[in-house]
């Protein structure tokens, strides 16, 4: 069983914002070695979650892990992503299984980064 990973961001009209998610995805991919890791966006940019999943299924990934790159549990996490996951399960249920990881949320490591940035000002 081959696993594929999707790092799912909000998406932005600002190209630089989308490039940041792609950089994070590249860093993750480097640590997962030969695994398939791709970025996807909820809106404003491509690929969409649906397109990313289709790409992974097309290359034979039968286990797809979706990591929502979100700090807060807003509407995307509460409603939009679960709805999309249900539709993906209906469409690809005989070809792939889907797992949604926990979002970034409140994590001590994020607070450490904030502190590092604050201390870097002085």
pTM over 0.85: yes
Task: Give tens-digit pLDDT for 50-89.
Answer: 999 999 999 999 999 999 999 999 999 999 999 999 999 9
Q: What CA–CA distance (Å, rounded) separates 121 from 117? A: 7
Rg (CA), the chain: 15
Q: Residue 66 contacts by C-beta under 8 Å, 6 or more apart in sequence?
A: 5, 6, 8, 49, 81, 85, 98, 99, 100, 101
Q: Are strands 61-68 and 2-9 parallel, antiparallel or unpaired?
A: parallel
For domain 2-119, give the CATH number. Answer: 3.40.50.1400
Residue 61, SS3? strand
Q: What CA–CA distance (Å, rounded) separates 66 from 119? A: 33
Q: What is the mean pLDDT of residues 89-94?
A: 96
Task: Give tens-digit pLDDT for 13-58.
Answer: 999 999 999 999 999 999 998 899 999 999 999 999 999 999 999 9
The domain spans of the chain are 2-119
């Amino acid at each position: 069983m081959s696993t594929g990973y999707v790092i799912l961001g909000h998406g932005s009209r600002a190209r630089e914002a989308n490039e940041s998610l792609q950089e994070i995805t590249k860093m993750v991919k480097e640590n997962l070695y030969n695994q398939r890791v791709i970025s996807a966006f909820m809106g404003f940019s491509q690929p969409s979650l649906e397109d990313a999943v289709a790409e992974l299924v097309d290359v034979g990934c039968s286990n797809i892990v979706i990591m929502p790159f979100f700090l807060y549990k807003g509407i995307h996490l509460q409603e939009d992503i679960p709805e999309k996951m249900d539709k993906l399960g209906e469409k690809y249920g005989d070809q792939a299984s889907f797992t949604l990881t926990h979002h970034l949320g409140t994590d001590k490591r994020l607070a450490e980064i904030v502190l590092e940035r604050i201390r870097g000002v002085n």
